Structure 1
Amino acid sequence: MDIEIGIRNVTRTVSFSTDESAEDVAQKIEQSLASDKALDLTDNRGRRFVVPAQALGYAIIGSDTSHPVGFGAL
């Protein structure tokens, strides 16, 4: 799933893919904002993204649905 995070006062967004579910990512964001602690996410290549809760501007969380590729018989 693709994640895009906007950071306050920064023009570029942080975009990455993760194997976590949309619900897990949303829960981590909500916990970070509620506790005023850093948001800590890991992408599917093992890189960690740590964003201070005060700097979080927005987050776009992709859907969990996978789109089949190829040709199907009707």
Structure 2
Amino acid sequence: MDIRIGFADTARELVIRSEGTQEELSQQINGALADNSVLELADDKGRKYIIRTDRVVYAEIGVTKPTTVGFAGA
């Protein structure tokens, strides 16, 4: 599952590829944003991200789709 998090006053996004369902991640992110607490996420390689939620502008949770090359996707 791909998670894109946008922050105030910057054009860059934080992109994390994480394990878990869209519903589980949505509940975790919504809970941290509602409490204005620290959001802690882990990616699929075992790295941990600790995010202060007071500067988060948006979070996009999407499904990872494999990319196709050439005529395989036609």
Q: Give the TM-score normalised by structure 2.
A: 0.78
**SS in structure 2 at match of 1:26:** helix
Structure-2 residue corresponding to 1:24: 24
Q: Partner letter of residue 35 of structure 1?
A: D
Q: CA RMSD in A?
A: 2.0
Q: After the TM superposition, which segments of 4 or more aligned residues of structure 1 sit over 3 Å from their partners?
A: none
Aligned length: 68
Deviation, structure 1 residue 13: 0.4
| Fraction of identical pairs, as percent | 29
Q: Give the TM-score normalised by structure 1.
A: 0.78
- Structure 2 CA distance, aligned partners of 1:14 and 1:48? 13
Unaligned runs of 5+ in 1: none
Deviation, structure 1 residue 31: 0.6
- Structure 1 CA distance, aligned partners of 2:22 and 2:60? 10
1:55 equivalent to 2:55? Answer yes
Unaligned runs of 5+ in 2: none
Write 1 or 2 for the structure with the bigger share of strand: 2
**SS in structure 1 at match of 2:49:** strand
- Structure 2 CA distance, aligned partners of 1:48 and 1:9? 23
1:44 equivalent to 2:44? Answer yes
Q: Partner letter of residue 37 of structure 2?
A: K
Write 1 or 2 for the structure with the bigger share of helix: 2
